[in-house]
Structure 1
Amino acid sequence: MVEEQYDYVITGAGSAGAVLAARLSENPSVTVCLLEAGGKDNNPFIHVPFGLSLLSRFDSIGWGYFTAPQRELNDRELFWPRGKTLGGSSSVNAMCYIRGQREDYDRWAESGAAGWSYNEVLSWFKKAEDYHGGADAYHGTGGPLRVEKLRHTDPLSRCFVNSADAAGLPVRTDFNREQREGLGFYDVTQKHGRRWSTAQAYLKPALNRPNLTVHTRTLTEKVLFTGKTASGVQVRYKGKGRRIGARKEVILCGGAINSPHLLMLSGVGPRDMLMEKGIHVVADSPGTGRNLQDHLDAIVQYRCTSRQGYAVALSAIPSYIAAGFRYLFSSGGLLSSNIAEAGGFASSSLAQSGQPDLQFHFLPAILAEHGRRSVYGYGFGVHVCALYPKSRGSISLQSSHPADHPLIEPAYLTHPDDKKVLLEGVALADKLVNSAAFDDVRGKRLSPPLGNNDEALLDEFIREHAESIYHPVGTCKMGAADDEMAVTDNQCRVKGVNGLRVADASVMPVLPGGNTNAPVVMIAERVADLIIRSAGHP
């Protein structure tokens, strides 16, 4: 029995779901239900940017995902943090506002996602944005998503930006224009020194609308079908099952893990896998869960000889106390820092001309196990990732029970070019840190081990220590009608069924060259418009 009925039912109140709920509910004549498996975003560490350093320790706001053992990474099971709260991963990420390269979106269009070239998506980036520098050909103002310069940067981060000359790189003030190779400070999704997640930017202003209903701590177990048409969802709330109907569409916004997982649980996926798990096949979709891509990260870390940066140390306590008071009264100071303040882009020997294939995130702190373990003392590190991995993995079912995690198989480094790019990136990062810019602060090297010119030693370092930098995409990719591995069409409608869309990072055919939050917001903005137009709403 359907207990509630709405025009649109959206699963996942994260980076995309919050956007769609806000945009669709702008029309008072339609009803929207937004479902979130996690709770409200009331953890104070979410909203104070520096709280990022502790968020991975709160199991209540994360999904707790781990990958399958990775053959090329010494059979390690890697931790994959994903946000489980209003705002999703936009409530737990490092807030870096990066769109990627022009060619990334042209590549989407060339691969079959017609209408998603750079010139066609730029206006949706701009619509979402409220850019601190004002509107121009690349940026927008007045949108819900505030993009600001950092209110505080550490001297060590400035050392990193000043190291650009050592590698022949320019200094950039904006990585979201035509040229982005170089080093600089990241713009961040913050407003008045606070994290500006999609929950804050889009959802919170819409919560008082009578046509928008938000259910938290509600796990969506499967999409319900009447024949081949999605008619609602089955959810579990406080241990009890409920059915929520959708008169017009069901929209999945769970991300690159949860959206394909939910599709397969609902009978949309590879036929043999579904039958093996005892799931009724609604649509044979061999590409569901395939095409998984992610950015793998290696860290070059050093001790610091001065008391700079963000340390776990008794001597740092007075500065943190002072910072607390400053933040309380002005929302400035080090507590407004996203920690990953500086970074940039560079090219390996395999990069295409004008398309850097390496990204750096500089942290004026020592990081271990994604921040889940504290490391005493002062230090700094350069995170290095290869932007365009050629390895492809998958998300698949471990069981037909909705509460069981899917099998996450990123297949890291199974293509040899990926390791070559990462090795070159690590060597370049070490060159930057060993430049004159760091001479006054550089202490003992922590990683990689000494002898970094020994490729075998570096190779083993990557195998033992590389981790995800949290950008999984591609598992419900958009594509042409004749692409049997495409799960969605160029309007993000699930192929083979009616009334069902996916709108999140999973629809990206190819991983963009950078952080993925801004592209997800863009996708949600555009899909909201496609839905409104297809329904004939004003």
Structure 2
Amino acid sequence: MEAESYDYIVTGAGSAGCAVAARLSETGRYRVLLLEAGGRDSSPWIHIPVGYSRLFTHETYNWRFESEPVAGLNGRTSYQPRGKMLGGTSSLNGMVYMRGTAADYDGWRQFGCVGWDYESVLAFFRKAENQERGEDEFHGVGGPLNVTDAHYKHEIIDAIIEAAVQAGIPRNRDFNGAAQEGAGYYQATIGKGRRWSAATAYLKPARGRRNLVVRPNAHATRIVIENGRAVGIEFRTSRGMEMARARGEVIVSGGVYGSPQLLLLSGIGPGDHLNEMGIEVTHDLAPVGANLHDHFNSYVAWRSTSTGTFNELHHSPFRKLAAGARYLVGRDGPMTAIATHAGILTRTDPRFDRPDLQINTYLWSIETRDRTGMHPHRWPGFSMSPVHLRPEGRGRVSLASRDPLAPPRIAFRFMETAHDVDAMIRGVRLARKLAEQPALKPYIAEEVVPGAAVNSDEQVIEDIRNRGVSNLHPVGTCRMGTGPDAVVDPRLRVHGIRGLRIADASIMPLVVGGNTNAPSIMIGEKCAAMVLEDA
């Protein structure tokens, strides 16, 4: 194969990859190639905020991964939607802008990740941000990523926030400010009524750069290693196999599943597993694919006495037409709503130094949620979703096949430890406590999921094992650190291979206490800065 040369090659145009490619190319000094296995972000449902529900199982724009059976979930598998387009999962996620706590990043530093303490990463959060509220010590303006307040509100969500205050949880107007604990509306990655994905933020302004080549529908299949150095990428296109060479570095940004899979296909990973798969061992690096963990959540749902919930919108053609007209005319109304309107972050034990529980609030209640989609009840409803932010269970990503187009094997270990089980029980109990507060009680006709009959700890645990799901914030499979359990060092360089870095959520040694899109973009920003420093 003839190979065109670039200074830098980035594989994966997701949250981090878009940031890396845009920042490396903006000086004009370097020629950058960005490869994306999926297509362009051309569907209008990608850009209309409420369209996330249409993308949840979309064959074209979603990898639709499925985990192995999970013992702690009574043998159920865990559906894992991941973005398959420019922007990656930032083009189909719920758009919540949440960074985690300062202590999360200071904790990374305590693991030996020098330069990843909160003060250090805050500079890159601020650099990325264009904050609607203006600039302050925590927020930036003028960056590529629009961050806005929730412009669609509802009396039920207001009542949930007030109920949290009545239960002793403070209000919080800014979960990314001085303190994370509290209750309030979320901010979102939205601009002018449209989803502000990483592709919109970083690639759209870079379209005119002659030194940035963006190749959608180009699936990276192998990192080319010569004499212990990454020198290029092989990738599959509609024309067949192609290759590109890197004069400088290769940056892998395939996400928590794609990045370890590409390393393994390239012979970088646990030697025993590679031998089992019939892949020549280029570098025996045992931690590749290990340390997989994710937030876990369940749902408590109520039939509502109030109308105007998303259940009714879903089932009413008239309401859909009205919402569509409102969006077309004024870029407002329910079609601008993010998946999760507001939330509560709190500690289930006062001895904890930071929130370990996040309760997300929704203007819908669902019968089922799986790879066939989300199916709302036919009556007005709303729900709260307790999310455990500090999980103990650790799984692994490995190869299921030598075929680079086959999905990887994903093994979670949800609900295995007493810590993880107890946290979910406390989350369900707190959601029910909020429902009993004076502010929210008038909006409740009855609890429909799991229902009043599920009350004892044993019944709640069994319900969670039967219904609980991944919160879709998987991290950790190319862990950053300095010891033998790490894949990359604190400058994101793969241990034992020169010229190769990883930049995405897979490098997180521990998941942050909140959503992972904003931290992934920060990782991309910081990676690009380090690459340019080293150049």
TM bucket normalised to smaller: over 0.9
Q: Which residue of 1 aligns with 2:365?
A: 366
What's the offset of the Cα at 1:421? 0.6
Q: Secondary structure at the match of 1:225?
A: strand
In structure 2, how many angstroms separate the alpha carbons of the residues matched to 1:295 and 1:369? 17
In structure 2, how many angstroms separate the alpha carbons of the residues matched to 1:20 and 1:165? 41
Over the matched positions of the two proteins, sequence identity in percent amounts to 40
What's the offset of the Cα at 1:452? 4.3
In structure 2, which of residues 400, 403, 413 is the aligned counterpart of residue 401 of structure 1? 403
Conservation of the 8 A alpha-carbon contact between 2:268 and 2:281? yes
Conservation of the 8 A alpha-carbon contact between 2:100 and 2:180? no
Write the deviation string for residues 318-345 of structure 1: whole angstroms up to 9, x where unpaired. 3332221221122111111113111120
Q: Which amino acid aligns with 2:517?
A: N
What's the offset of the Cα at 1:178? 2.6
In structure 2, how many angstroms separate the alpha carbons of the residues matched to 1:201 and 1:315? 33
Conservation of the 8 A alpha-carbon contact between 2:293 and 2:393? yes
Bigger mean CA offset, 297-306 vs 457-466: 297-306
Q: How does 1:189-208 map to 2 (within 5 A)?
A: 189-208=189-208
Q: Which residue of 2 aligns with 1:304?
A: 304
Bigger mean CA offset, 266-275 vs 426-435: 426-435
In structure 1, how many angstroms separate the alpha carbons of the residues matched to 2:453 and 2:528? 52
Write the deviation string for residues 151-201 of structure 1: whole angstroms up to 9, x where unpaired. 111222112111113321011110012322111000000111111001001
Q: Secondary structure at the match of 1:311?
A: helix
In structure 2, how many angstroms separate the alpha carbons of the residues matched to 1:230 and 1:381? 48
Q: Which residue of 1 aligns with 2:60?
A: 60
Q: Which amino acid aligns with 2:201?
A: A
Bigger mean CA offset, 207-216 vs 500-509: 207-216
Q: Which amino acid aligns with 1:463?
A: R
Q: How does 1:81-480 map to 2 (within 5 A)?
A: 81-238=81-238, 240-312=240-312, 316-349=316-349, 352-367=351-366, 368-369=368-369, 372-375=373-376, 376-480=378-482
In structure 2, how many angstroms separate the alpha carbons of the residues matched to 1:170 and 1:313? 32
Q: Secondary structure at the match of 1:150?
A: coil
What's the offset of the Cα at 1:316? 4.2
Q: Secondary structure at the match of 2:179?
A: coil
In structure 1, how many angstroms separate the alpha carbons of the residues matched to 2:258 and 2:201? 23
Conservation of the 8 A alpha-carbon contact between 1:427 and 1:452? no
What's the offset of the Cα at 1:439? 2.4
Conservation of the 8 A alpha-carbon contact between 1:2 and 1:245? no
In structure 2, how many angstroms separate the alpha carbons of the residues matched to 1:243 and 1:304? 57
Bigger mean CA offset, 155-164 vs 72-81: 155-164
Conservation of the 8 A alpha-carbon contact between 2:271 and 2:284? yes
* Normalised TM-score (structure 1): 0.96
Conservation of the 8 A alpha-carbon contact between 2:32 and 2:211? yes
Q: Which amino acid aligns with 1:443?
A: A
In structure 2, how many angstroms separate the alpha carbons of the residues matched to 1:89 and 1:313? 25
In structure 2, how many angstroms separate the alpha carbons of the residues matched to 1:8 and 1:286? 27
Conservation of the 8 A alpha-carbon contact between 2:130 and 2:142? yes
Q: Secondary structure at the match of 2:311?
A: coil
In structure 1, how many angstroms separate the alpha carbons of the residues matched to 2:158 and 2:59? 33
CA distance change for structure 1 residues 456 and 283 in 2, over 3 Å: closer, same or farther?
Answer: same
In structure 1, how many angstroms separate the alpha carbons of the residues matched to 2:339 and 2:18? 25
Kindly indicate whether residue 523 of structure 2 is the aligned counterpart of residue 508 of structure 1: no
In structure 1, how many angstroms separate the alpha carbons of the residues matched to 2:338 and 2:115? 34
Unaligned runs of 5+ in 1: none
Q: Secondary structure at the match of 1:59?
A: coil
Q: Which amino acid aligns with 1:356?
A: P
What's the offset of the Cα at 1:386? 0.5
In structure 2, how many angstroms separate the alpha carbons of the residues matched to 1:112 and 1:491? 11
Unaligned runs of 5+ in 2: none
What's the offset of the Cα at 1:515? 0.2
What's the offset of the Cα at 1:222? 0.9
Bigger mean CA offset, 74-83 vs 274-283: 274-283
What's the offset of the Cα at 1:440? 2.4
Q: Secondary structure at the match of 1:241?
A: strand
What's the offset of the Cα at 1:435? 1.9
Q: Secondary structure at the match of 2:10?
A: strand
What's the offset of the Cα at 1:129? 0.5
In structure 2, how many angstroms separate the alpha carbons of the residues matched to 1:448 and 1:435? 19
Bigger mean CA offset, 149-158 vs 468-477: 149-158
Q: Which amino acid aligns with 2:326?
A: R
What's the offset of the Cα at 1:315? 7.7
Bigger mean CA offset, 323-332 vs 127-136: 323-332
Write the deviation string for residues 364-417 of structure 1: whole angstroms up to 9, x where unpaired. 112331581422222111111110101111101112211121110111122220
In structure 1, how many angstroms separate the alpha carbons of the residues matched to 2:454 and 2:181? 24
CA distance change for structure 1 residues 229 and 313 in 2, over 3 Å: closer, same or farther?
Answer: closer
Q: Which amino acid aligns with 1:374?
A: H
What's the offset of the Cα at 1:203? 0.7
CA distance change for structure 1 residues 331 and 496 in 2, over 3 Å: closer, same or farther?
Answer: same
What's the offset of the Cα at 1:33? 0.6
What's the offset of the Cα at 1:312? 4.0
In structure 2, how many angstroms separate the alpha carbons of the residues matched to 1:439 and 1:164? 12
CA RMSD of aligned residues (A): 1.4
Q: Which amino acid aligns with 1:359?
A: Q
CA distance change for structure 1 residues 452 and 406 in 2, over 3 Å: closer, same or farther?
Answer: same
Q: Which residue of 2 aligns with 1:10?
A: 10
In structure 1, how many angstroms separate the alpha carbons of the residues matched to 2:13 and 2:436? 43
Conservation of the 8 A alpha-carbon contact between 1:285 and 1:485? no
Q: Secondary structure at the match of 1:37?
A: coil
In structure 2, how many angstroms separate the alpha carbons of the residues matched to 1:490 and 1:314? 46
CA distance change for structure 1 residues 16 and 106 in 2, over 3 Å: closer, same or farther?
Answer: same
CA distance change for structure 1 residues 498 and 315 in 2, over 3 Å: closer, same or farther?
Answer: closer
CA distance change for structure 1 residues 313 and 198 in 2, over 3 Å: closer, same or farther?
Answer: closer
* Normalised TM-score (structure 2): 0.97
Conservation of the 8 A alpha-carbon contact between 1:449 and 1:461? no
Conservation of the 8 A alpha-carbon contact between 2:128 and 2:522? yes
Write the deviation string for residues 121-170 of structure 1: whole angstroms up to 9, x where unpaired. 11110000011111111111111001000111122211211111332101
What's the offset of the Cα at 1:354? 3.5
What's the offset of the Cα at 1:348? 1.2
Conservation of the 8 A alpha-carbon contact between 1:130 and 1:144? yes
| Aligned length, in residue pairs | 532
Write the deviation string for residues 235-280 of structure 1: whole angstroms up to 9, x where unpaired. 1111611111111111110111110111011011001111111111
Bigger mean CA offset, 196-205 vs 411-420: 411-420
In structure 2, how many angstroms separate the alpha carbons of the residues matched to 1:518 and 1:29? 27
Q: Which amino acid aligns with 2:358?
A: Q
Conservation of the 8 A alpha-carbon contact between 1:49 and 1:338? yes
